[in-house]
Amino acid sequence: MIIQLTKLHEGSNLVPYEHTTATLELESLDGFDGVAFPHTIEIRTDIQKVNHQYFVNVNIITTAQMICDRCLETFDKSINEKFRLIYAVETFPIDPNETEGEFRTLDTDAINIDITADIREALLLMIPMKTLCSEECRGLCPQCGTNLNKEGCNCSNDQIDPRWEALSKLKSSLS
Ligand SMILES: [Zn+2]
Ligand SMILES: [Zn+2]
Protein backbone atom coordinates (compact mmCIF):
# COMPACT_ATOMS: atom_id res chain seq x y z
CA MET A 1 0.00 0.00 0.00
CA ILE A 2 1.62 3.18 -1.24
CA ILE A 3 0.53 6.51 0.20
CA GLN A 4 1.03 9.56 -2.02
CA LEU A 5 2.21 12.24 0.37
CA THR A 6 1.57 15.01 -2.16
CA LYS A 7 -2.15 14.20 -2.14
CA LEU A 8 -2.53 14.66 1.59
CA HIS A 9 -3.85 17.85 3.10
CA GLU A 10 -3.11 19.25 6.56
CA GLY A 11 -5.05 17.44 9.27
CA SER A 12 -6.80 14.10 9.01
CA ASN A 13 -6.76 12.09 5.76
CA LEU A 14 -8.75 8.88 5.55
CA VAL A 15 -7.16 6.50 3.07
CA PRO A 16 -9.07 3.23 2.62
CA TYR A 17 -7.39 0.35 0.84
CA GLU A 18 -7.88 -3.33 0.22
CA HIS A 19 -5.08 -5.84 0.06
CA THR A 20 -5.32 -9.42 -1.13
CA THR A 21 -3.37 -12.45 -0.03
CA ALA A 22 -1.25 -12.09 -3.15
CA THR A 23 -0.36 -8.41 -2.80
CA LEU A 24 0.85 -9.06 0.74
CA GLU A 25 2.69 -12.25 -0.29
CA LEU A 26 0.74 -14.34 2.19
CA GLU A 27 0.04 -17.37 -0.02
CA SER A 28 2.58 -19.73 1.46
CA LEU A 29 3.89 -18.88 4.87
CA ASP A 30 7.01 -20.63 6.09
CA GLY A 31 6.69 -21.61 9.72
CA PHE A 32 2.95 -20.89 9.86
CA ASP A 33 1.50 -24.25 8.89
CA GLY A 34 -2.23 -24.21 8.39
CA VAL A 35 -2.55 -20.42 8.54
CA ALA A 36 -4.19 -18.76 5.54
CA PHE A 37 -5.66 -15.38 4.67
CA PRO A 38 -8.36 -16.31 2.14
CA HIS A 39 -10.36 -13.08 2.44
CA THR A 40 -9.85 -9.48 1.44
CA ILE A 41 -7.61 -7.62 3.86
CA GLU A 42 -9.25 -4.30 4.57
CA ILE A 43 -6.94 -1.47 5.54
CA ARG A 44 -8.37 1.64 7.18
CA THR A 45 -5.73 4.30 7.41
CA ASP A 46 -5.96 7.72 8.99
CA ILE A 47 -2.98 9.93 8.27
CA GLN A 48 -2.64 13.07 10.31
CA LYS A 49 -0.47 15.54 8.44
CA VAL A 50 1.10 18.25 10.55
CA ASN A 51 3.63 20.35 8.64
CA HIS A 52 6.10 17.80 7.35
CA GLN A 53 5.12 15.12 9.81
CA TYR A 54 2.79 12.25 9.04
CA PHE A 55 1.12 10.27 11.82
CA VAL A 56 -0.06 7.10 10.14
CA ASN A 57 -2.72 5.12 12.05
CA VAL A 58 -3.38 1.78 10.43
CA ASN A 59 -6.26 -0.58 11.19
CA ILE A 60 -6.19 -4.03 9.56
CA ILE A 61 -9.46 -5.96 9.34
CA THR A 62 -9.79 -9.45 7.91
CA THR A 63 -10.59 -13.05 8.77
CA ALA A 64 -7.76 -15.54 8.92
CA GLN A 65 -8.10 -19.28 8.66
CA MET A 66 -6.16 -21.49 11.06
CA ILE A 67 -5.97 -25.11 12.09
CA CYS A 68 -6.52 -25.89 15.74
CA ASP A 69 -3.46 -27.51 17.34
CA ARG A 70 -5.68 -29.66 19.56
CA CYS A 71 -8.62 -30.86 17.43
CA LEU A 72 -7.08 -30.24 13.96
CA GLU A 73 -10.25 -28.54 12.73
CA THR A 74 -10.03 -25.46 10.54
CA PHE A 75 -11.47 -22.36 12.16
CA ASP A 76 -11.88 -18.67 11.34
CA LYS A 77 -10.25 -16.01 13.42
CA SER A 78 -11.32 -12.39 12.98
CA ILE A 79 -8.50 -9.93 12.98
CA ASN A 80 -8.66 -6.31 13.99
CA GLU A 81 -5.10 -5.06 14.40
CA LYS A 82 -3.87 -1.52 14.82
CA PHE A 83 -0.47 0.06 14.57
CA ARG A 84 0.95 3.53 14.22
CA LEU A 85 3.91 4.88 12.31
CA ILE A 86 5.34 8.37 12.42
CA TYR A 87 7.13 9.74 9.37
CA ALA A 88 8.95 13.03 9.59
CA VAL A 89 11.56 14.96 7.69
CA GLU A 90 14.66 15.26 9.82
CA THR A 91 14.83 19.03 9.50
CA PHE A 92 11.42 19.24 11.17
CA PRO A 93 12.08 17.71 14.57
CA ILE A 94 9.18 15.78 15.94
CA ASP A 95 7.22 16.77 19.01
CA PRO A 96 8.99 14.94 21.89
CA ASN A 97 5.59 14.22 23.42
CA GLU A 98 4.78 12.01 20.45
CA THR A 99 6.12 8.73 21.71
CA GLU A 100 3.45 6.31 20.58
CA GLY A 101 4.32 4.60 17.32
CA GLU A 102 7.39 3.69 15.38
CA PHE A 103 9.41 6.64 14.11
CA ARG A 104 10.70 6.79 10.53
CA THR A 105 12.82 9.44 8.92
CA LEU A 106 11.58 10.82 5.63
CA ASP A 107 13.74 12.29 2.86
CA THR A 108 13.00 15.95 2.17
CA ASP A 109 12.02 15.09 -1.42
CA ALA A 110 9.97 11.97 -0.55
CA ILE A 111 6.68 11.85 -2.47
CA ASN A 112 5.28 8.62 -1.13
CA ILE A 113 5.59 6.00 1.60
CA ASP A 114 5.03 2.28 1.24
CA ILE A 115 3.52 0.54 4.27
CA THR A 116 2.96 -2.87 2.59
CA ALA A 117 5.74 -4.58 4.54
CA ASP A 118 4.44 -3.12 7.82
CA ILE A 119 0.94 -4.47 7.16
CA ARG A 120 2.35 -7.89 6.32
CA GLU A 121 4.51 -7.92 9.43
CA ALA A 122 1.62 -6.84 11.68
CA LEU A 123 -0.51 -9.70 10.34
CA LEU A 124 2.23 -12.27 10.89
CA LEU A 125 2.95 -10.99 14.40
CA MET A 126 -0.65 -11.59 15.47
CA ILE A 127 -0.50 -15.30 14.64
CA PRO A 128 -0.22 -17.08 17.99
CA MET A 129 2.42 -19.74 18.65
CA LYS A 130 -0.36 -22.12 19.56
CA THR A 131 -3.51 -21.87 17.48
CA LEU A 132 -6.62 -23.00 19.33
CA CYS A 133 -10.19 -22.92 18.00
CA SER A 134 -11.16 -22.10 21.58
CA GLU A 135 -9.44 -22.05 24.96
CA GLU A 136 -11.86 -24.79 26.00
CA CYS A 137 -11.11 -27.02 23.00
CA ARG A 138 -11.14 -30.61 24.22
CA GLY A 139 -9.07 -31.91 21.34
CA LEU A 140 -9.01 -35.42 19.97
CA CYS A 141 -9.24 -38.59 21.97
CA PRO A 142 -5.65 -39.86 21.98
CA GLN A 143 -6.88 -43.42 21.63
CA CYS A 144 -9.67 -43.41 19.05
CA GLY A 145 -9.22 -39.98 17.48
CA THR A 146 -12.77 -38.81 18.16
CA ASN A 147 -13.13 -35.03 18.17
CA LEU A 148 -14.20 -34.60 21.80
CA ASN A 149 -15.78 -31.21 21.05
CA LYS A 150 -18.36 -33.00 18.92
CA GLU A 151 -18.97 -36.26 20.72
CA GLY A 152 -17.77 -38.44 23.54
CA CYS A 153 -16.12 -41.80 23.24
CA ASN A 154 -15.81 -44.84 25.44
CA CYS A 155 -12.05 -44.88 25.81
CA SER A 156 -10.55 -44.48 29.22
CA ASN A 157 -8.24 -41.50 28.94
CA ASP A 158 -6.56 -41.84 32.28
CA GLN A 159 -3.21 -42.44 30.73
CA ILE A 160 -2.39 -40.56 27.60
CA ASP A 161 0.41 -42.11 25.65
CA PRO A 162 2.03 -39.51 23.39
CA ARG A 163 2.55 -42.14 20.70
CA TRP A 164 -1.20 -42.53 20.43
CA GLU A 165 -1.63 -38.81 20.16
CA ALA A 166 0.74 -38.75 17.20
CA LEU A 167 -1.09 -41.66 15.62
CA SER A 168 -4.51 -40.11 16.07
CA LYS A 169 -3.26 -36.91 14.46
CA LEU A 170 -1.96 -38.94 11.55
CA LYS A 171 -5.22 -40.83 11.26
CA SER A 172 -7.29 -37.69 11.14
CA SER A 173 -5.00 -36.07 8.58
CA LEU A 174 -5.53 -39.08 6.31
CA SER A 175 -9.29 -39.21 6.64
ZN1 LIG B 1 -9.89 -27.18 18.61
ZN1 LIG C 1 -11.66 -42.44 22.38
* pLDDT-flagged residues of the chain (< 50): none
| Nearest bound ligand to the CA of residue 131 | 1
Rounded to the nearest angstrom, the distance between the alpha carbon of 67 and the centre of ligand 2 is 21
| Distance from the alpha carbon of residue 73 to the mean position of ligand 1, in angstroms | 6
On the CB side of 11, how many CA atoms lie within 13 Å of its CA? 0
pLDDT of 175 reads 58
Question: What pLDDT is attached to residue 149?
Answer: 95
Separation of CA 155 and ligand 2 centre (Å): 4
- In this prediction, residue 159 carries a pLDDT of 56
Three-state helix/strand/coil letters over the chain: CEEEHHHCCCEEEEEEEEECCCCCCCCCCCCCCCCECCCCEEEEEEEEEECCEEEEEEEEEEEEEEECCCCCCEEEEEEEEEEEEEEEECCCCCCCCCCCCEEEEECCCCCEEECHHHHHHHHHHCCCCCCCCCCCCCCECCCCCCECCCCCCCCCCCCCCHHHHHHHHHHHHHC
Q: What is the pLDDT of residue 113?
A: 94
pTM above 0.85, yes or no: no
* pLDDT for residue 162: 59
Alpha carbon distance 73, 157 (integer Å): 21
Q: Cα–Cα distance between 87 and 12 in angstroms, integer?
A: 15
Q: What are the pLDDT digits (tens) for 128-139? A: 889 999 999 999
